[in-house]
Amino acid sequence: MEAPNSALAPGIRIYAIGDIHGCITPLRKLHQLIREHSVAQPVARNVVIYLGDYVDRGPDSRGVVDLLLSEPLPTFEHVYLKGNHEEAVLRFLEDENNGPPWLAYGGDVTLSSYGVRPPQASDLAGLQRARSEFERQFPSEHRAFFNRLPLVHVEGDYVFVHAGLKPGVPLESQSEDDLLWIRDEFLCSNAEFGRIVVHGHSITETPAVRRNRIGIDTGAFASGRLTCLVLEGTSRSFLAT
């Protein structure tokens, strides 16, 4: 069942972008589509919300972060949310023992994009070497960006988050682990969350529009499709590469 007609205040348009995962070419294309759309249909306030997972799996994680920091969409308000992959980067920088699971889901190509040779997950000395090199190669502005990423953003009748919400738990009581990692308990729930939840994290071939949520991770690193949800008033539409 599709999400009901939730609303934003007049004069506001939101562009919510799904998981980028190091795919800089689709990101550039989507930014161009957003610019063209916003110019053709001007409003008082344009907001672009990125749902996290800027790094891992795709070929140019460093380039994506550089682009987000140095080439923001002009005249837009920007909201950058935290994803579980950004959390994994920070955890590896704190302790190389956190490296094996990160390497298993795409951290190896992130290291390569920063000029660090990925280690074998079972090689403790290699993990120590990679963490030390990564700490030197990881720009301070990138680390500061990752450290200040919020977990949740609310606009009108929508709440934006990377993975989803735990059913039955008030928004202010949600755990960081659930906000970054939850899957089936959220995806299979018919619970009302007070607002429509806009999320990424769980890949679908096309946007997943349900009564209580809208999922927009269309697997850009594998499909080339980076998706943007466009919200204005009670209307919603999609842009995609």
pLDDT digits (tens, 9 = 90+) for 81-140: 999 999 999 999 999 999 999 999 999 999 999 999 999 999 999 999 999 999 999 999
Please give the pLDDT value at position 4: 53
Give residue limits of the domains in the chain. Answer: 1-77+149-241, 84-140
Q: Each residue of 55-95: pLDDT tens digit?
A: 999 999 999 999 999 999 999 999 999 999 999 999 999 99
Q: Which carries the bigger pLDDT value, residue 4 or residue 32? A: 32
Kindly state which CATH superfamily the domain 1-77+149-241 is placed in. Metallo-dependent phosphatases (3.60.21.10)
| Band of pLDDT at residue 6, cut at 50, 70 and 90 | confident
Average pLDDT, integer, range 227-235: 97
Chain-wide mean pLDDT for the chain? 96
Please give the pLDDT value at position 1: 43
Of all residues in the chain, what percent carry a pLDDT higher than 90?
A: 97
- Whether the per-residue pLDDT at 190 is higher than 70: the answer is yes
- Whether the per-residue pLDDT at 3 is higher than 80: the answer is no
**Token pair in block for residue 100:** 């094996």
Please give the pLDDT value at position 82: 98
What span, in angstroms and rounded, lies between the C-alpha atoms of 134 and 16? 30
